[in-house]
Amino acid sequence: MYLPHDPGNPYQVAGQLLINDALTSDASAIVQHSNTEGTCLYKDGAFHNRVIRKTYIKPCMLDGIILHNFVYEVQMQFLQGNCGGILFRSNFPLMYYFLVCTNGQYRLVRYDRDNVANRKILLVQTTSALHTGLKAINTLAVVAQDSHFELFINTLKIAQAQDTAYAEGQIGTLAHTCSIARTDYDCVDTTEVRFTNLHVWKLP
């Protein structure tokens, strides 16, 4: 999980490498578990995040690492269904997540499972930077500095946002069955996303 080689930070902020993890086995960073919503599982040399309930999300967390300012990058591949992405500053059920979908849409969401009034879609848009469709591979990243967030797809900056709700927390991955925010019109029963090459740089 903690490797000495720094693969290089392409996001133009200076930070200390904290995690360089290929996510190839259960000795890797993200914790495996299953419940009625889905599974967090290592198989076939990668980490798989699978959600099996329509309109649901399935978060998978790195255990024991609390971050405030950071760069977080991971490579993902759509295997089945609609959307996948990364989550950060999570004190579940509170978190932010950056989601991309097979239809080319992305969104940044402030999430609170237990308080609908605290949920907010901070950004929702489509982008040509995203490789769309099943089997497509993309590299997602977020740079979080205090209340400021910058979002990247395939090292291209696509958006930025501000929010002060959550100051620190865990990071992880996410699968989502719905490709359109706040509706069940375009949702599927199952979504599975494959993740590899997770990097985190801690910022001052």
**Closest to 22 measured CA to CA, from 45, 6, 43:** 45
Name the pLDDT band for 181 (thresholds 50, 70, 90): low
Q: What is the DSSP letter of 117?
A: G
**Least confident piece of the model among 41-45, 144-148, 170-174, 178-182:** 178-182
49 or 180: which leads in pLDDT: 49
Examine the pLDDT at 182 and tell me if it is beyond 60. no
pLDDT of residue 116: 86
Residues 6+ apart with CB under 8 A from 136: 77, 78, 102, 130
Examine the pLDDT at 134 and tell me if it is beyond 80. yes
pLDDT of residue 185: 60
pLDDT digits (tens, 9 = 90+) for 29-68: 898 999 999 999 999 999 999 999 988 999 999 988 999 9
Q: What ranges do the domains of the chain cover?
A: 54-179
**Closest to 142 measured CA to CA, from 90, 184, 193, 194:** 90
The token duo for 100 is 């991309």
Name the pLDDT band for 17 (thresholds 50, 70, 90): very high
**Closest to 191 measured CA to CA, from 118, 106, 103, 101:** 101
Examine the pLDDT at 6 and tell me if it is beyond 90. no
Look at the block and give the residue holding tokens 């400021």.
148
Examine the pLDDT at 183 and tell me if it is beyond 60. no
Check whether domain 54-179 has CATH 2.60.120.560, yes or no: yes
Look at the block and give the residue holding tokens 């985190």.
200
pLDDT digits (tens, 9 = 90+) for 93-128: 999 999 999 989 999 999 998 998 899 999 999 999
The token duo for 105 is 């849409």
Q: What are the distances in angstroms from CA 34 to CA 25, 39, 50, 51, 150? A: 16, 4, 9, 10, 31
pLDDT digits (tens, 9 = 90+) for 136-166: 999 999 999 999 999 999 999 999 999 999 9
pTM, rounded to two decimals: 0.92
